[in-house]
Amino acid sequence: MSNNFRFFSPTEVIFGKDVEQETGKQLKSLGASHVLLVYGGNSARRSGLLDKIRHSLKEQDISISELNGIVPNPRLDKVYEGIRIGKADKIDFLLAIGGGSAIDTAKAIAYGLAEPELDVWELFQHKRAAKKCFPVGCVLTIAAAGSETSKGCVITNEKTCEKRAYDDNLARPVFAIMNPEYTRTLPDYQTESGCVDIMMHTMERYFTNGGNLEITDAIAEALLRTVIKNALILHDNPGNYEARAEIMWAGSLAHNDLTGCGNDGGDFMTHKLEHEMGGMFDVTHGAGLAAIWPSWARYVYRDCLPRFVRFAKNVMGIMSAGTEEEIAEAGICAMEQFYHSIGMPANMRKLGIMPTDRQILEMADRCMAASGNHRGSAKIITLDDAVEIYKNAR
């Protein structure tokens, strides 16, 4: 039986070649007068995209302030820096140029500027809920996080090594400008890490015990098959525009909540387990997900067997006979093989980290604290479960 749901996806998507040239007009139509550009730096400069965006805004007489140096697993100190710039320059719109790190930083700054008397980190600690948020737009250059159309935002507190998420529809971007050509310069490792992240956003919503809609399942399965197909193409032919377009659009659809309509809210424990790995070891998010998922899957699949069997057959193409457990295990093995085929790790050792037992217990403790009352759907995860999943992933 499916659950009641609300689907809210207000982001206007402007997709295709040369669409970045429309940025200034888009901002002008929304009443923006002073925009804070939030970006990493080198890639946006080398590609010429940053200069194009600046020119597009200046043509519309829109003033510009800038915050650069955003890094993967975006840092709280950059959020605070952006808030300071935004207050001083009286900006009225945030424009992220890049991937999930830039967009999440812009969202966090937008929260901080809207309620300047409060500490924005309190949102990520879930001590309060946001009441206001400045408008955010983005020019996407990395297909991965799906932050360009999602309500999610993940920030790392570098002082405490806590990587925390805050979800609120207030921060959904007003628009997302998406030209797949700007993803061509990405290293293969980053491209494939992004593909894993895209798939995981759908898989977190797929492996549930709380009811599903057939149409939602069909959309999710098609999305997963499409990403697998095109991730393999890009591994061998990184310049393929069509494959990059498929992956970029899949990234948005995977995390705008479409692939979770009718379920119980999803599982998301793989993400929560990886967040602690990212906070402690600063690993690439998608690669971290690939390293932890097989361990999580083998730990929980018997508690969610029908979903794992369906996944094995409809996504991974397992046609062999056997018991349901054997079919489910074959699906997990097939996913591991896919990770290997695109250069992704399937355990922590391949990821390049070997946490001690003490570090594993610390990550598990933090994961449980951050998870609150939602600790999975495929299987409810306890502290002991989290410890075992981490250990089995070493």
Predicted confidence at residue 2, as pLDDT, reads 80
- Predicted TM-score of the model (pTM): 0.94
Pair (202, 165) in one structural domain: no
Pair (235, 91) in one structural domain: no
Quick: pLDDT tens for 187-221.
999 999 999 999 999 999 999 998 889 999 999 99
Pair (298, 213) in one structural domain: yes
The one-letter code for the residue type at 212 is N
DSSP conformational letter for 16:
S
Q: Which residue has the higher pLDDT, 44 or 378?
A: 378
Spatial contact of 346 and 391, defined as CB atoms under 8 Å apart: no
Pair (171, 311) in one structural domain: no
Once rounded to an integer, what is the mean pLDDT over residues 116-134? 97
For the ranges 15-29, 34-48, 100-114, 181-195, the lowest mean pLDDT is seen at 34-48
Residue 38 backbone phi and psi in degrees, to 5: -120, 120
Pair (153, 248) in one structural domain: no
Chosen domain end from 146, 168, 183: 183
Pair (195, 175) in one structural domain: no
Domain that holds residue 25: 12-183
For the chain, give the mean pLDDT.
Answer: 96
Residue 1 pLDDT exceeds 70? no
- 101, two tokens: 């790190």
Residue positions counted in the chain: 394
Q: How many domains does the chain have?
A: 2
Chosen domain end from 183, 217, 233: 183
| 3 within a domain of the structure (yes/no) | no
Write the CA distances from 384 to 28, 68, 390, 391, integer angstroms: 53, 41, 10, 11
pLDDT band, residue 20 (cuts 50/70/90): very high
Residue 42 pLDDT exceeds 90? no
Pair (161, 207) in one structural domain: no
Pair (160, 89) in one structural domain: yes
Separation CA 314–CA 319 (nearest Å): 9
Pair (174, 217) in one structural domain: no
pLDDT band, residue 272 (cuts 50/70/90): very high
DSSP 272-336: HHHHHHHHHH---HHHHHHHHHHHHHHHHGGGGHHHHHHHHHHTS-----S-HHHHHHHHHHHHH
Once rounded to an integer, what is the mean pLDDT over residues 8-17? 97
Chosen domain end from 183, 210, 228: 183
- Listed residue (383, 342, 377, 376) closest to 391, CA to CA: 383
| 7 within a domain of the structure (yes/no) | no
Query: At 37, which helix (H) or strand (E)?
Result: strand 34-39
Pair (30, 55) in one structural domain: yes
Predicted confidence at residue 321, as pLDDT, reads 84
| 5 within a domain of the structure (yes/no) | no
- In this structure, the strands spanning 93-98 and 162-165 are unpaired
Write the CA distances from 164 to 61, 104, 141, 380, integer angstroms: 37, 11, 23, 20
DSSP 238-282: TT-HHHHHHHHHHHHHHHSSGGGTTSSS---HHHHHHHHHHHHH-
Predicted confidence at residue 44, as pLDDT, reads 83
Predicted confidence at residue 246, as pLDDT, reads 98
Q: What percent of the chain has pLDDT over 90?
A: 95
Pair (177, 35) in one structural domain: yes
Pair (236, 372) in one structural domain: yes
Quick: pLDDT tens for 321-354.
899 999 999 999 999 999 999 999 999 999 999 9
The one-letter code for the residue type at 344 is M
